[in-house]
């Protein structure tokens, strides 16, 4: 049996993302959305989640290219005076690993992001991260302590078959190869800890190597050879015009990604292949 989870990242980033999430849940294949607690449209996203209780919500942990939940005075080494994290994921990754003085600030902010969602009355069942920051070894160490404490039982293990991706999309071969090496190392590091904690994860995650370019055509190409078990496919849908989307991700195909989630052709093909659409809780959508 093959199961497929379809997730939207960046829930709460902006009104354009929130509108797309609600539309994709009500009329499309979406089963989960990962919320950004520091997003400018977080409160609006909470309202969307409350009026659509079947939509499963996870934490889209944000420690780069976004805004913190705690005030800047509490995170002097992590954010600027406006409370924004660095936009450079490479520099941030090295700092989080080598600067041990950041650990306590990172832990306070990560816990604050979790509790902000829970305080809004939204249960959290899974964790992933903006730019996959949740796999960072220092961040994972913190999450290994916090996930059991807050009843979070599922984690996005961002591993994807490079050969399968390149068969259908030939762009960014060098970049994808490098990302595959990095995420392969990070997932190998994370696996023993997740297994020790009893945290579950998908067999494969589609969207790691084609982030921002998860079109209907690409989705139709890759579903024929999904692996047995549970696969997660994540998207970045959005409704334009939206200044925040365009500023943060000018090259992403937000409208096309929403169209893919809404696609009757994709839905029918999944039925033909007997691939079950569900969320991380195992609740079947179609």
pLDDT tens, 167-219?
999 999 999 999 999 999 999 999 999 999 999 999 999 999 999 999 999 99
| DSSP state at residue 70 | S
pLDDT at residue 286, as a whole number: 67
5-27 tens-digit pLDDT: 999 999 999 999 999 999 999 99
Kindly state the average pLDDT of the residues 254-278: 97
Q: What is the CATH number of domain 2-277?
A: 3.20.20.370
C-alpha Rg value of the chain to the nearest Å: 18
The residue behind tokens 């996930």 is: 147
* Separation CA 241–CA 255 (nearest Å): 10
Confidence of residue 281 (pLDDT cuts 50, 70, 90): confident
Two tokens, residue 111: 């816990």
pTM for the predicted model, two decimal places: 0.96
The domain ranges of the chain are 2-277
């Amino acid at each position: 049996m093959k199961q497929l989870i379809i997730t939207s990242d960046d829930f709460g980033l902006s009104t354009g993302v929130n509108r797309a999430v609600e539309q994709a849940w009500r009329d499309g294949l979406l089963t989960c959305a990962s919320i950004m607690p520091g997003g400018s449209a977080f409160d609006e996203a909470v309202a969307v989640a409350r009026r659509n209780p079947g939509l499963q919500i996870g934490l889209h942990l944000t420690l780069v290219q976004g805004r913190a939940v705690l005030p800047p005075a509490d995170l002097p080494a992590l954010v600027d005076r406006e409370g924004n994290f660095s936009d450079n994921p490479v520099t941030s990754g090295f700092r989080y690993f080598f600067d041990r003085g950041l650990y306590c600030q990172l832990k306070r902010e990560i816990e604050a992001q979790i509790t902000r969602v829970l305080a809004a009355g939204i249960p959290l069942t899974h964790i992933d991260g903006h730019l996959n920051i949740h796999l960072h070894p220092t961040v994972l160490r913190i999450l290994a302590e916090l996930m059991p404490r807050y009843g979070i039982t599922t984690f996005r293990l961002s591993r994807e078959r490079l050969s399968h991706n390149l068969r259908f999309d030939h762009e960014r071969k060098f970049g994808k190869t490098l990302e595959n090496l990095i995420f392969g190392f990070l997932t190998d590091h994370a696996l023993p800890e997740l297994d020790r904690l009893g945290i579950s994860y998908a067999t494969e995650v589609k969207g790691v190597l084609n982030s921002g370019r998860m079109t209907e055509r690409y989705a139709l190409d890759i579903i024929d050879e999904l692996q047995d078990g549970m696969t997660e496919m994540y998207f970045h849908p959005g409704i334009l015009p939206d200044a925040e989307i365009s500023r943060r991700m000018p090259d992403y195909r937000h409208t096309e990604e929403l169209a893919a989630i809404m696609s009757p052709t994709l839905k029918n093909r999944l039925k033909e292949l007997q691939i079950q659409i569900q969320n991380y809780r195992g609740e079947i959508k179609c």
